[in-house]
């Protein structure tokens, strides 16, 4: 009887050790902890506590890296690691090269992962928008962005992020050749969906609305100049130079500070 109890205790102990070893060998607890740190980092960043946010982002990266070491084929760990590297709010600490490596690893493990193509597109877009990029490099980066978006859409035609990036590129990329008609069609097609809250869609809508406003201002400016160039004098004519100056400054202001007009962009998108 006593020997039987000993066997039962020994079996329970072995089972307990095996469960502990299995849990230790799993990447899931690390991923869950990394997710907690990431949520905390985002909360800190919303409250402008960037030092605390940066510390939590760094800790999350360390935890996700441990998860990858435990399970090198864990797609979720690689994907989360890529997103933190590429999209952390303290953008001066971003590492797009490492993010690209992690997204590439995800696609090696799962070629049908459309969101990894979106992540690669996002990285290419940031590369194109870098302040020190040369014209040829900008064009090549935009082409890569569109290529990755198309791959994402081929796998998932309803991928909101890929659709948003495509609309954004068509609406804003002066160097690549803006296609406002295509951008507007894209906005109309997504009307009534949550995509209109996407920051890239908001920016695209703002640029399209400001383009229309700028066109109207240019027409008014040209009309004012024609009015001023007519022979004769009148009180109305004497005020034309001030009107021309005001219109010109408005055009310059709109083109250099488009982010100030985001509410107009949202209103424009809601009326399409």
The predicted structure's pLDDT at residue 164: 85
The reply to whether 155 falls in a domain is yes
Domain boundary, last residue among 80, 111, 142:
111
Shared domain check, 37 and 158: no
Cα separation of 270 and 160, whole Å?
Answer: 17
Kindly give the confidence (pLDDT) of every residue in the chain, 272 residues in length, as a single tens digit, with 9 standing for 90 and above.
Answer: 444 444 444 334 333 433 433 344 588 899 999 999 989 988 988 888 888 989 999 999 999 999 999 999 999 999 999 999 998 887 788 899 999 999 999 999 999 999 999 999 999 988 887 766 787 888 888 889 989 999 999 999 888 888 888 888 888 776 556 677 777 777 777 666 656 667 777 777 777 777 778 788 878 777 777 766 666 655 555 666 677 677 767 767 766 676 676 677 666 666 66
Instruction: Report the alpha-carbon distance of residue 99 to residue 57 in Å, rounded.
Output: 14
268 in a domain, yes or no?
A: yes
Is there a single domain that holds both residue 185 and residue 247?
Answer: yes
Of 138, 133, 272, 118, residue with least CA distance to 206: 272
Pair (34, 139) in one structural domain: no
Residues 138 and 255 in one domain: yes
DSSP state of 94: -
The answer to whether 168 touches 187, Cβ cutoff 8 Å, is no
Q: Is residue 116 part of a domain?
A: no
User: What are the distances in angstroms from CA 118 to CA 9, 40, 154, 179, 249?
Assistant: 53, 25, 12, 21, 38
**Exposure on the CB side of residue 6, measured as CA atoms within 13 A:** 3
211 part of a folded domain: yes
Query: How many C-beta atoms surround the C-beta of residue 18 within 10 A?
Result: 10
Q: Are 117 and 154 in contact (CB under 8 A)?
A: no
Query: 200 with 143, same domain?
Result: yes
Same-domain pairing of 151 and 196: yes
Q: What is the pLDDT of residue 196?
A: 60
Q: Is 87 within a domain?
A: yes
CATH of the domain at 102: 1.25.40.10
DSSP H stretches of helix in 156-198: 160-172, 180-189
Looking at 111, 137, 160, the residue that finishes a domain is: 111
Please report the pLDDT score of residue 11 as a whole number: 39
Is residue 77 within 8 Å of 28, Cβ to Cβ? Answer: no
138 and 96 fall within a common domain: no
96-109 and 114-128 are packed helices; what angle lies between their axes, rounded to 10 degrees?
A: 160
Residues with Cβ < 8 Å from 115, sequence gap 6 or more?
79, 152, 159, 161
133 and 107 in one domain?
no
Q: Terminal CA-to-CA distance of the chain, rounded, Å?
A: 82
If one counts the domains in the chain, the total is 2
Q: Which residue has the tokens 């006593």?
A: 2
Distance (Å, whole) CA 126 – CA 122: 6
What's residue 23's pLDDT? 41
pLDDT for the residue numbered 184? 74
Q: Containing domain of residue 25, as a range?
A: 17-111
Q: 105 and 140: one domain?
A: no
Instruction: Name the token pair of 118.
Output: 């979106």
Same domain, 82 and 205: no
42 lies in some domain: yes
In a domain, 11, yes or no: no
**Residue 205 included in any domain:** yes
Looking at the structure, do residues 242 and 149 belong to the same domain, yes or no? yes
pLDDT at 8: 42
Are 98 and 182 contained in the same domain? Answer: no
Domain boundary among 68, 84, 111: 111
């Amino acid at each position: 009887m006593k020997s039987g109890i000993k066997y039962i205790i020994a079996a329970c102990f072995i089972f307990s050790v095996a469960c502990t070893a299995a849990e230790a060998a799993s990447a899931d607890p690390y991923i869950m902890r990394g997710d907690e740190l990431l949520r905390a980092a985002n909360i800190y960043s919303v409250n402008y506590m960037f030092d605390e946010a940066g510390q939590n982002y760094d800790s999350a990266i360390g935890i996700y890296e441990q998860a990858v070491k435990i399970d090198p084929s864990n797609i979720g760990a690689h994907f989360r690691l890529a997103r933190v590297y590429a999209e952390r709010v303290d953008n001066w600490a971003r590492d797009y090269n490492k993010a690209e490596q992690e997204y590439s690893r995800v696609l090696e493990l799962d070629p049908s992962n459309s969101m990894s193509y979106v992540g690669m597109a996002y990285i290419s877009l940031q590369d194109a928008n870098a302040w020190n990029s040369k014209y040829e490099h900008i064009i090549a980066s935009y082409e890569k962005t569109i290529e990755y978006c198309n791959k994402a859409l081929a796998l998932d035609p309803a991928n909101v992020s890929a659709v948003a990036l495509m609309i954004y590129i068509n609406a804003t990329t002066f160097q690549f050749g803006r296609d406002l008609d295509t951008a507007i069609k894209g906005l109309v097609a997504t009307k009534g969906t949550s995509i209109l809250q996407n920051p890239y869609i908001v920016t695209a809508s703002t640029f399209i609305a400001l383009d229309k406003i700028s066109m109207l201002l240019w027409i008014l400016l040209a009309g004012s100049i024609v009015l001023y160039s007519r022979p004769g004098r009148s009180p109305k004519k004497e005020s034309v130079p001030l009107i021309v100056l005001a219109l010109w400054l408005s055009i310059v202001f709109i083109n250099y500070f488009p982010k100030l007009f985001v509410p107009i962009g949202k209103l424009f998108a809601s009326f399409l």
